Structure formats: structure tokens, C-alpha cells
Copies of this chain bind each other. A is one copy, B any other.
């Protein structure tokens, strides 16, 4: 069985090209984040003190860049692990993936808003909304693909999907809750996103423990 190839002689879609477009989009979106960082303008003679001061004032830009980079990377990891088990794609999955990429590609925009107007509820809630929507789509794609093993192998272990879905919806959950928090305090909302890293860390420890148990299949070839 050749993976991800449509029936010969029939027009169809390949997992390979969906991955190629997705990786390209992730790579460009992640790189454009850095383009949004302003360069300090220095009036008069250029000195170390002025440049250091100018850069220090831009810290919300650096923070937003770092934050968005890591969050988009988390989405990429999740996308990557889903598509590692997908064996065929249909038009429905392709369109879900396209709307998902639309949100990923849009991310540099709320990132710039956050670095410029990070103290407002509007910028914070918009940022969280885009990521909440991306998380929901991520989960929905996984659910659609594995239900009845529609797009995965016949021997696909459904427990694997459980961890994936839990992770995707937990990510959306954090962002949805933070939208509410943003109305009280944008700063606290932004800190709540750090929860994601903790969740991800805890998940890793749990799954590591599981893998270490005897009789469990390891991830190695």
C-alpha cells in the first residue's frame, strides 16, 4: 500500500502535498512574526546608551514574538502528530485544514496588535480568539479523521487519538477562558496562556511515564 496516493488514474489528493503546503505556511507565518518587530529610531548621535534604551522600550515586541513563535510551534507539533497517522485526505479535511491555516497565517496580525496595544482587552481577546478557533479546528480535524478510522490506518490505536483530542481541546479551553479574563485584566489573561506550557509539560511527563511501562509500544522505529 502506497501511503497517501489516490487511486491511479483518478484525480485525488495526497497527504504529501497537504503537508508541503502546511509546512510552507507554518514556516512563513513563523518567520513573519519577526518582521513585525520595530527597529528603534535614534535621534542625533548614535550611542550605546540610546540604542540599549530603545531596545529595552521595545520589550513588548520581543515578548509577543517569543510568545507567538512558541504557540504556533505547539500548533505545528500537534498538526504534525495528527498527520503522521493520516493515510488519505478528502475534500472535507482539506477545507478544514485550509481554514485552520487561514488562522495560523493571520497570527502575525494579532501579534503586532498585542505588542502595540497589549494593555487593552480588545487586542488580548482578539489574540486569544484566533488561537481558540485554531485549537477547535485542530481538534475537529482529528475527530473527523479518526471517527470510524475514516482517514487513518485500520490498526490505528484509538487511545492515541484520545491524548491528541484532549490536548487540542485543552489548548482551546485555555484560550476561551482567557477571553473572559481579558475583560477583567488583560495582563492576567496573558499570564494564563503560560498555563499551556505547564499543561504541555505535565502531559509530557505523564506520557513519558506511560511509555516507560512494560509492554507499551515505543515511538522508535
Chain A residues with CB under 8 Å of chain B are: 1-14, 17, 19-21, 23-35, 37, 39, 42, 46-48, 51-52, 55, 65-66, 69-70, 73, 76-77, 80-85, 87-88, 90-91, 94-95, 98, 101-102, 105-106, 108-109, 112-113, 116-117, 119-123, 126, 152-153, 155-157, 160-161, 163-164, 204, 217-221
Contacts and interface: CB of A to CB of B under 8 A. Distances in A.
A113 B52 CA distance: 11
A85 B27 CA distance: 23
A27 B30 contact: no
A217 B7 contact: yes
Nearest to A123: B51
A12 B87 contact: no
Contacts of A112: 39
B157 A9 contact: yes
25 contacts: A5-B221, A7-B217, A9-B153, A9-B157, A11-B81, A11-B85, A11-B163, A13-B81, A17-B23, A19-B20, A24-B27, A29-B31, A32-B34, A34-B105, A35-B108, A39-B116, A47-B120, A51-B113, A51-B117, A52-B122, A66-B102, A69-B105, A73-B95, A73-B98, A88-B219
A26 to B, nearest CB: 6
